[in-house]
Amino acid sequence: MIFLRKQLSGVKIMVLTVERSPEQTKKATYSRTNPFRAEVLKNINLNGPGSSKETRHIELSLKDSGLSYVPGDCLGIIPENDPELVATLVKEMEWDGEELVTINKQGDALPLKEALSSHFEITLLTKKIVQQAAALTDNEELKKLAEPENVNELKEYMDGRDLLDLLRDFGPWHATAQEVVSLLRKMPPRLYSIASSFRANPDEVHLTIGAVRYNANGRERKGVCSVQCAERLEAGDTIPVFIQQNKHFNLPEAPETDIIMVGPGTGIAPFRSFIQEVSVNETRGKTWLFFGDQHSASDFLYQEELEKYMEDGVLTKLDAAFSRDTDQKVYVQHKMLENSQELYQWLEGGAYFYVCGDKQYMAKDVHETLITIIEKEGGVSRDEAEAYLNDLQKQKRYQRDVY
């Protein structure tokens, strides 16, 4: 500790400063509330020409952060809003982008443009925001929409709309910029399954992120974080990150255990981490990956890597399904059914079964297919097959990371 005595306008001030040793600095704790600014090492599009998708492979440096992770963990990113959307908001409301606005209960302030860019969520509406906004306008339509008995109509309106829509649809507004930003929620972090093994890539973390773009209510919409990563994040840039543990999606403790992984599209991310981890283990079990996407020629993510792992014996089996390459759509669950006997034998031999990806459709279909396979190959009733699967879950041999 060093005490410094300073002279300022004739007033003596005692200042206490603390010098950290290099070891202490390295062990500084980075977290959701104190993220680490990770440098971008690589950012490439994994999809080939003609693909309707854009999937980014991003490599970030964790050097000097003291952060580490295990396969199955997530990386949190604190994103920033699209600058074009922020500029349109400011222009639409005839605000001054440099005006200072209070951003929290502690009274901290930022210029309006910066607050809308990096601090507040502006792409998602909530019931609370709309109802509170109704007090800032004479628009009868909004006041009616905000009434408790019209909750279903309100829900329908909010779906696919954002703050700009709200401000455009229900003026004229009698609100200051401060009153509007006071309605908003703090920007939440986005969590992504980590696509690398820390043991295989010391001081690095890799991500597999699909850029989200779609049209709704007459406007093009962009995923806040995914499109920032796709359009505005280059090698040499930094981005605030933290590690989020995932205690419910992990490799088996015994490295010789067999694993079956189902991860179509960006759902492959944690399984790239799993396979990399297996590759550095001296003892390993068998590994089986089911991957799926639209077209083999343009959407086979990490194809060369996976084929190399097959050659090296790290990946035992690889079954890929491409839904748009044939007249009849083929998905991962169809590949599971084609291999039902062997898949059941793996389960009977103690294999762990993992699913990552789309919760609404894929994960449900895979779950139902798994029950069908157990029912057929085990010669049991549907109820008994469901009980078998429930038992796998209790043993943590059936794990899902779905979204």
Close Cβ partners of 304 (under 8 Å, ≥ 6 residues apart): none
Instruction: Determine the pLDDT at residue 29.
Output: 87
pLDDT of 2 > 70? The answer is no
- Residue 81 pLDDT more than 50? yes
Alpha-carbon distance values, 349 to 38, 252, 258 (Å): 42, 14, 8
pLDDT tens, residue by residue, 104-148:
999 999 999 999 999 999 999 999 999 999 999 999 999 999 999
More confident of the two residues 7 and 363: 363
CA distance linking residue 188 with residue 193, whole number of Å: 16
Task: Determine the residue type at 367.
Answer: H
* DSSP type of residue 150: G
| Nearest by Cα to 302 from 353, 363, 248, 261 | 261
CB atoms within 10 A of CB 91: 10
Residue by residue, DSSP assigns 247-309 as TTS---SSTTS-EEEE--GGGGHHHHHHHHHHHT-SS---EEEEEEES-HHHH-TTHHHHHHH
Q: What would the pLDDT profile of 249-308 be if each residue is shown by its tens digit?
A: 999 999 999 999 999 999 999 999 999 999 999 999 999 999 999 999 999 999 999 999
Non-local CB neighbours of 377 within 8 Å, separated by 6+ positions: 340, 341, 343, 344, 345
Cα separation, 141 vs 133, in Å, equals 12
Residue 56 C-alpha from the chain's centroid? 12
26 band by pLDDT with thresholds 50, 70 and 90: very low
Categorize the per-residue pLDDT at 25 as very low, low, confident or very high, splitting at 50, 70 and 90: very low
Is 90 exceeded by the pLDDT of residue 56? yes
Residues 367 and 332: their CA atoms lie apart, in Å, by 11
Instruction: Determine the number of helices (DSSP H) and then strands (DSSP E) in the chain.
Output: 16, 17
The pLDDT of 25-43, averaged and rounded, is 86
- Mean pLDDT, rounded, for 159-171: 97
Q: Residue 14: pLDDT above 50?
A: no
pLDDT band at 238 (very low <50, low <70, confident <90, very high): very high
> Taking 50 as the threshold, does the pLDDT of residue 24 lie above it?
no
| Residue 79 to residues 76, 114, 129, 183, Cα–Cα distance (Å) | 9, 13, 21, 20
Tens-digit pLDDT profile for residues 341-381: 999 999 999 999 999 999 999 999 999 999 999 999 999 99
Mean pLDDT taken over the chain: 93
pLDDT at 9 over 50: no
Instruction: Look up tokens 């455009």; give the residue.
Output: 168
Report the chain's C-alpha Rg in angstroms: 25
Please state the pTM of the whole predicted model.
0.91
CA angle, 181 then 184 then 186, to 5°: 110
Distant-in-sequence contacts of 392-397, Cβ < 8 A, 24+ apart? 392/347, 392/353, 396/352, 397/347, 397/350, 397/351, 397/352, 397/353
pLDDT band at 28 (very low <50, low <70, confident <90, very high): low
Residue 13 has pLDDT above 60, yes or no: no
Q: Please report which helix (H) or strand (E) contains residue 17, including its range.
A: strand 11-17
pLDDT of residue 215: 95
